[in-house]
Structure 1
Amino acid sequence: MSPLTALWHLLNFIAPPLCVAALLVALAKGLVWRQLLAGTSWRRLWAECALLGVLGQIAALLVFGVDGKLPGYAIWLSLLSLPLGWRLLKAG
């Protein structure tokens, strides 16, 4: 495998949690919990969600041995939503 191919594999591996984190934070801060999340910056919340999402995807890869299993998606989506839930519990 060439270095460029390895880079594309890595980028495609981490892209789903990064994009889902951006979508989740945009919906949470823009539409649903605008008042409660006003004190938290968009970038900080996205970085926390994205980091835990990527770690969840890595954990799912280590547990199941392959990427793309439905329980693996549940793992990284659960971890991805933790920072948002924690902020809402603190604010509410």
Structure 2
Amino acid sequence: MNKYISLITFTVFWALFAIIGCIIAICFKERSIIRCCVLLTAACCWIVWLVTFVMQMNPLVGPRMHRPILMAMMSYWKRSYIHDMPDP
């Protein structure tokens, strides 16, 4: 799935959650507290999802390995940077 489609989808989902929650809150006696809880829930859940989504797009820390293992992987895997010929 494209990153923009997933971003828009989840943003619309949490926006609809907040709007529908505010509409449902009108039916209750303590509508201001319920509305506040629904809006805070929607905002916090969206922010948590957004932070997780952005961190997966461009991770700050990648896998770390020792130099001999890295050289072995580059020499034995197909389409490595060292050579294009298959190993004997």
Greater RCO (Cα-Cα under 8 Å, separation 6 or more): 1
Q: If each structure's helix is expressed as a fraction of its own residues, which one has the higher value?
A: 1
Please classify the TM superposition score into its range, dividing by the shorter chain length.
0.3 to 0.5
Larger Rg: 2
Provide the TM-score with structure 2 as the length reference.
Answer: 0.38
Q: TM-score, normalised by structure 1?
A: 0.37
